[in-house]
Chain A
Amino acid sequence: MNFEIPDFAPAAPEIFVLAMACAVLIVDLFLTEKNRVITYLLSQTTLLGAAVLTVSLHSAAPQVTFSGTFISDSLADVLKVFIYLITAVVFLYSREYLIARKLFKGEFFVLGLFAVLGMMVLVSGYNMLTLYLGLELLSLSMYAMVAMHRDSMPSSEAAMKYFILGAIASGMLLYGMSLIYGATGSLDIAEIAAYIQNSSSDDMVLLLGLVFIIVALAFKLGAVPFHMWIPDVYHGAPTAITLFISTAPKIAAFAMVMRLLTDGLGGLLTQWQDILVILAALSIAVGNVVAIAQGNIKRMLAYSTISHVGFLFLGVLAGTDEGYSAAMFYVLVYALMSLGAFGMVILLSRAGFEADNIADFKGLNERSPWFAFMMLILMFSMAGVPPTVGFYAKLAVLSAVVDVGLVWLAVFGVLFAVVGAFYYLRIVKFMYFEKPEDKAPLASDFDMRAVISANALVVLALGIFPGSLIALCATVI
């Protein structure tokens, strides 16, 4: 067997992030509490550098390297740029929160960067092993981040649950992969796809592998009934970590769905479509209904995530290019909205006070009309009210589903979106029609206020001019 030196260029952003994450780790050792901000700045620089590298090395034709285990195509590049952007904003939102809670440590940023690296590998993986590698790197970083607040009981409990359930899911994923390897004789996505093309699709082993893989994917995204970790982890983890978990990794998980289900197992579309229909319907229903009963906004947003995952699946299960691009549009929009919503929770929190009850939003309009309006935009967008971008996201996935003849599923989705509107609008009601319990105006750094405003305004602006992002999603699929 000849060993060829692989072409490193397509993986340059990954290599850069890896090198920088190690550098940050070492630099951080020599910093005192006071100048910890250097770690922060270095991490932001890393993300910026990676973005520059990704954009400048972008080429229209897909490049496959490392013996076919790694791919760099338009889909990967676009998703990566969004991952950098969202992670950078997450770091920015988290800074003050972490400082106030004495969690402003190098670990947060190092683990964050390793998670980003994991996501990048996941996005670019073109072999089952690469995908697994990326997923584990991401997951392990996440487990550690959730547990970072060591003295907090809920935090440790959440980390424990996350770790154990995550391990079960990883096991299922590996088992599914090995079954598929057994059936097809390959771990390479392209070869698996070619094998399925040329053989009958009712191979029992293959189907078994498919089910295991879908279960693992559903766990990662948080689809019912594999969603149970989400509320507890979102609730237990420090808000800054919840913010991170709920945004960028979803984009990476979407990429994994695309690589495994459509690129690799696309030949089994009719089989996995039925499974996704069930998962999507359950997620939309359970997510929206249970969210109503929540009094904690982090838990509420956790259930809202579950319902959004259901909608995301609607786009994927359509199995058409329109559906995939609608799902991609949905996941990007979801990440933006979730970023803003958890950002608002952070903005409302202060040292020693977690603003994580829905009641904490009472009378926000009297305390700060501007941010109440920003939250209003975000909630409207999550509920899917035009002219915010959330409306277009829902519209796109629903029309994709209708196009393949699953009208009942679209109707089902719309009905539960109406149920979901209740808990989003309840926040709006609290903000505008209730008296504040706490009159203190919001205090925060300028960059935080500017970026969170920009975040919400982008949600509104994309709703008015959705064309460019929709077109982008359509071209990369």
Chain B
Amino acid sequence: MKSIYLTIALAPLVGAIVAGLFGRKIGRAGAHSVTIAGVAISFLLSLVAFKHIVIDGNPAFNGAVYTWLVSDGLTLEIGFLIDRLTTLMMMVVTFVSLMVHIYTIGYMKDDPGYQRFFAYIALFTFSMLMLVMSNNFLQLFFGWEAVGLVSYLLIGFWFKRETAIYANLKAFLVNRVGDFGFLLGIAAIYMYFNSLDYVEVFAAAQGMSGVTIQLFPGVEWSLLTVIGILLFIGAMGKSAQVPLHVWLPDSMEGPTPISALIHAATMVTAGIFMVARMSPIYELTETALSFILVIGAVTALFMGLLGLVQNDIKRVIAYSTLSQLGYMTVALGASAYAGAIFHLMTHAFYKALLFLAAGSVIIAMHHRQDIREMGGLKKYMPITYWSSMIGTLALIGFPGFSGFFSKDAIIEAVKVSSLPGSGFAYLAVLLGVFVTALYSFRLFFIVFHGKERMDEETRSHLKESPGVVTWPLILLAIPALGIGALTVGPMLFGGYFGESIVVDAAHDTLAKLGEGYTGVMGFILHGMMSLPFWLALAGIGTAWYAYMVNPGFPAQVRERFQTVYRILANNYGIDDFNDRFFAGGSRKVGRLFWKAGDQAAIDGFMVNGTARGIGRLAVVMRYLQSGFLYHYAFAMIIGLLVLITVFVIF
């Protein structure tokens, strides 16, 4: 099996290298064939791994494939931990990636950077697989940074656009903040556990639960809380949690396929995956869990609200991604790790579907993305329309669709959670349901129904997208519709994750829900009688009224609540604050350090000063080498005499 796992990770890398380095030689068809083949191999072998681990019930694989170096008890190695959690992630990543690869053939058809794009997304798949398959923190960090790098490259894929460059730099910088915390967390783990191996660290975590450290003199912190929060700061960057979410909406500057793959389905869920993977640590620190719960709740509600005022089709979906990531984070905070991963999976399918459908609309609209210029697309694009319908219903959690099961489970889990902050979180996720339904159907109605607001030229060219675009939509619509009902039982209540996720009995919220679980139909029926369902219906109704029945209504609301509208449109002022305070401030500080510290003290005095000093010394010492034999012999005798004097006589 080891070679199979290795192939899973390396096949996309081979594709990426071939397409990236020899792209010009193998041409467009060559580039997409080789990368698609690589990812397809990974997907098929992931299925094999799934069968091996989950269906045949073999024990998890945990082993090194390559040891780079062993130094002082620290082993740096590439290793895989393939358990039930990993196989699930591998399947989701490779499946969505495969769909996106195929879709890209149609979407990027006329782009001059075709081969480069395929090389990047295949490289992304490799990096993401390395991240999820890792068995140690170092490799996790490698994958973490590698996906960040590819994300950076892809947001700025159209590198001649000012806005794209701005967006990718912003994503890069914001992620640096998160990664700084993440790296500190890893360093803390190494410092106290003296190991970077998951299994060893998890085994030792229990014994560390009483250890406290002093970050500031006089204040004792629980070690595990510090580690948990530091690692979660990394997750906040990558999974775009408030206040490190600001990069994600801007990342929509990248091509749509990567918005679907990286900025919705897979990479941004890396933080969620990481926290679930670290469940043995998080379970020991309620403070960190509470922190996660509150951050997630704020993200889930307040980012959803922003979706209401966006007019760019991709940005609306981007804010919905933020809000959904918030839901996953809330689930982590409530110790419903299985719920978070379950939502991660359903979300990966329906959000990739929504993005790709949006991409299909964008193709039809000749790369115009403003929804105010759309409308009535239903009759031109039936496949896109129906797949969007499925995606939207899944997103709002309509009973029976995949998102319903995962979202409902999260809401119920928060309800029974007893951590500090769970009351607020419950309220936030509940209101979030209404908001989700409202912005989702606002988008849906404006784009597919109502008046056709595009210009005549565009209307004449409107048509359904080609097969390479619609087939992935259809293939993604199937899991978006059905995966929830199919897997809710085993994943949430059937102990699917086995050993790979650890939950302390004291806050095992899913177990409490499991007591009342009577099967899929029971779950649906229960859902239809509970509050979230009615809130979702109310959201749809409001959207229907505001955008179909009485289109003047939103304008009236905007007039009346101008302040609120402005706050939302400005992203709560977070961007302005960051620009002024962090960007402006650090530039000022940077200038100071540059002038005073770097140029004057370090360069002028220390570096160049030392270099000048040593250079002069070298010239002087060179004269000792006079070339005269008797000088040399004299030096030897003197040396001997000194040694004798020092070591023998004294």
- Cα separation A218 to B635 with both chains bound (whole Å): 13
* Inter-chain contacts of B611 with A (CB < 8 A): 422
A26 at the B interface (CB under 8 A): no
Task: Please determine whether B614 and A207 come into contact, CB atoms closer than 8 angstroms.
Answer: no
Given A207-B648, A226-B639, A231 contacting B625 (CB threshold 8 A): yes
Does A57 belong to the interface (CB within 8 Å)? no
Task: Kindly identify which residue among B618, B629, B635, B639 contacts A290, using a CB–CB cutoff of 8 Å.
Answer: B618
Query: Which residues of the partner chain B approach A293 to less than 8 Å between Cβ atoms?
Result: 615, 618-619, 621-622
Q: Pick the residue among A168, A271, A290, A294 that contacts B633 (CB under 8 A).
A: A168
Q: Report the Cα distance A274→B621, complex, angstroms.
A: 25
Closest B residue, CB atoms, query A395: B71
A215 within 8 A of B: yes
CB distance A164 to B648 under 8 Å? no
Is there contact, CB below 8 Å, between A204 and B648?
yes
A211 touching B633 in the complex, CB below 8 Å, given contacts A289-B618, A290-B618, A290-B622: no
Whether a CB of chain B sits under 8 angstroms from the CB of A305 is no
Please give the distance in Å from B292's CB to the nearest CB on chain A: 37
Report whether A215 and B640 are in contact in the complex, using a CB–CB cutoff of 8 Å.
yes
Which A residues lie within 8 Å of B639 (CB)? Answer: 215, 218, 225-226
- Contact indicator B640/A211 (Cβ below 8 Å): yes
Asked whether, in the complex, the Cβ of B636 is within 8 Å of the Cβ of A219, the reply is yes
For the complex, is A399 an interface residue (Cβ under 8 Å from B)? yes
Q: Which residues of A have CB within 8 Å of B644?
A: 208, 211
Q: Tell me whether B621 and A289 are in contact (CB under 8 A).
A: yes
Query: Which residue of chain A is the closest to B619 with respect to CB atoms?
Result: A293
Inter-subunit contact B636/A164 (CB<8 Å): no
Cβ of A229 under 8 Å from chain B: yes
A290-B621, A292-B615, A419-B614 given; A215·B643 CB < 8 A: yes
In the assembled complex, the Cα of A278 lies from the Cα of B643 at a distance in Å of 9
Instruction: Determine whether B516 belongs to the interface, using a CB cutoff of 8 Å to chain A.
Output: no
B647–A165 CB distance below 8 A: no
Q: Which A268-315 residues have a C-beta within 8 angstroms of B?
A: 271, 274-275, 278, 286, 289-294
| Count class of interface residues, chain A | 35 or more
By the criterion CB–CB under 8 Å, are A165 and B625 in contact? Answer: no
Whether a CB of chain B sits under 8 angstroms from the CB of A427 is no
Q: Report the Cα distance A294→B644, complex, angstroms.
A: 32
Main secondary structure of the interface of B (DSSP, over half): helix
Instruction: Give every chain B residue within 8 A of A214 (Cβ-Cβ).
Output: 643
List residues of chain B with CB within 8 A of the CB of A37: none
Bound complex: CA A393 to CA B640 (Å):
30
- Let me know if A169 is at the binding interface, CB within 8 A: yes
Nearest chain A CB to B260's CB is how many angstroms away?
Answer: 37
Chain B residues within an 8 Å CB radius of A232: 625, 627
Out of A231, A275, A289, which one reaches B647, CB within 8 Å? Answer: A275
Across-interface contacts of B621 in A (CB, < 8 A): 286, 289-290, 293
Measured between C-beta atoms, what is the minimum distance from B583 to chain A in Å? 34
Bound: A161/B629 CA distance, A: 6
Per-residue contact bits, chain B 416-433, to A (CB 8 Å; 1 contact, 0 not): 000000000000000000
Question: Complex Cα distance A231/B622, Å?
Answer: 11
Report the bound CA distance from A219 to B636 in whole Å. 9
Q: Check if A228 sits within 8 Å of B647, measured CB to CB.
A: no
Residues 619-650 of chain B: 1 if any A CB is under 8 Å from the residue's CB, otherwise 0? 10110010101011101101110011001100
CA distance A161 to B254 in the complex (A): 71
Among B72, B614, B633, B647, the one with the most A-chain Cβ atoms within 10 Å of its Cβ is B647
Q: Does A244 touch B at the CB level, under 8 Å?
A: no
A226→B611 CA distance, assembly (Å): 27
B69 within 8 A of A: yes
Residue B1 is within 8 A (CB to CB) of chain A in the complex: no
Bound CA–CA A434/B650 (angstroms): 55
The smallest beta-carbon distance between B612 and chain A, in angstroms, is 11
Q: Which residue of B lies closest to A161 (CB)?
A: B629
A70 within 8 A of B: no
How far is the CB of B352 from the nearest CB of chain A, in Å? 38
Query: In whole angstroms, how far apart are the Cα atoms of A275 and B639 in the complex?
Result: 11
Q: Known: A160-B629, A215-B640. Is A225-B617 also a contact (CB below 8 A)?
A: no
Residue in chain B with minimal CB distance to A206: B648
Q: How many Å lie between the Cα of A394 and that of B618 in the bound state? A: 23
Question: Closest residue to B640 on the A side, CB-wise?
Answer: A215
User: Nearest-CB distance from B38 to chain A (Å)?
Assistant: 25
CB neighbours of A271 from chain B (8 A)? 647
The interface bits of chain A over 424-459 (1 if a CB of B lies within 8 angstroms of the residue's CB, else 0) are: 000000000000000000000000000000000000
The A199-250 residues at the B interface (CB cut-off 8 A) are 204, 207-208, 211-212, 214-215, 218-219, 225-226, 228-229, 231-232
Q: In the complex, which residues of chain B have a beta carbon less than 8 angstroms from the beta carbon of A395?
A: 71
Partner of A228 from B69, B71, B635 at Cβ < 8 Å: B635
Q: Does A364 sit at the interface, judged by CB under 8 A?
A: no
Per a CB cutoff under 8 Å, which of B71, B614, B638 touches A292? B614
Give A149 to B635 CA distance when docked, in angstroms: 28
A466 within 8 Å of B by Cβ? Answer: yes
The B120-141 residues at the A interface (CB cut-off 8 A) are none
B615 near A165: Cβ-Cβ < 8 Å: no
Contacting residues, chain A, for B618 (C-beta < 8 A): 289-293
- What sequence of 0s and 1s flags, for each residue 218-241 of chain B, a beta carbon within 8 Å of any chain A beta carbon? 000000000000000000000000
Asked if A172 CB lies within 8 Å of chain B CBs, one says yes
- Chain A residues lying within 8 Å of B648, measured Cβ to Cβ, are 204, 207-208, 211
Closest residue of chain A to B616, judged by CB? Answer: A293
B619–A226 touching, CB < 8 Å: no
Q: Known contacts A172-B640, A211-B643, A215-B640: does B615 contact A228 (CB below 8 Å)? A: no
Give A328-365 interface residues, CB cut-off 8 Å to B: none
* CB pair A168 B614 closer than 8 Å: no
| B interface footprint on A168-189 (CB within 8 Å = 1, 0 otherwise) | 1100100000000000000000
Contact B72 A399 (CB under 8 A): yes
Bound form: Cα–Cα A290–B617 in Å: 8
Complex Cα–Cα for A278 and B639 (A): 11
Instruction: Name A207's contact: one of B629, B636, B638, B647 (CB within 8 Å).
Output: B647
**Which residues in B have their C-beta under 8 angstroms from that of A290?**
618, 621-622, 625
A270 CA / B148 CA spacing, docked (Å):
54
Given contacts A231-B625, A289-B617, contact A225 B638 (CB under 8 A): yes
Which A452-477 residues sit within 8 Å CB-CB of chain B?
466-467
**Judging by beta carbons under 8 Å apart, are A161 and B617 in contact?**
no
Residues of B within 8 A of A (CB): 67, 69, 71-72, 611, 614-615, 617-619, 621-622, 625, 627, 629, 631-633, 635-636, 638-640, 643-644, 647-648
Q: A294-B622, A419-B614 are in contact. List 18 more A-B contacts (CB 8 A).
A: A172-B640, A207-B647, A208-B648, A211-B640, A211-B644, A211-B647, A215-B643, A218-B639, A219-B636, A225-B638, A225-B639, A228-B625, A275-B647, A289-B617, A291-B618, A292-B618, A293-B615, A399-B71
**A-B residue pairs, 10 tightest by C-beta:** A293-B618, A228-B632, A225-B639, A292-B618, A207-B648, A293-B622, A289-B618, A225-B635, A290-B621, A211-B643
Q: Give 30 pairs: A residue, B residue, CB < 8 Å, sorted on A.
A: A161-B629, A164-B633, A165-B629, A165-B632, A165-B633, A169-B636, A172-B640, A211-B647, A212-B640, A215-B636, A215-B639, A218-B639, A219-B636, A225-B635, A225-B638, A225-B639, A228-B631, A228-B635, A229-B632, A232-B627, A275-B643, A275-B647, A289-B618, A290-B618, A290-B622, A290-B625, A292-B614, A395-B71, A419-B614, A422-B611
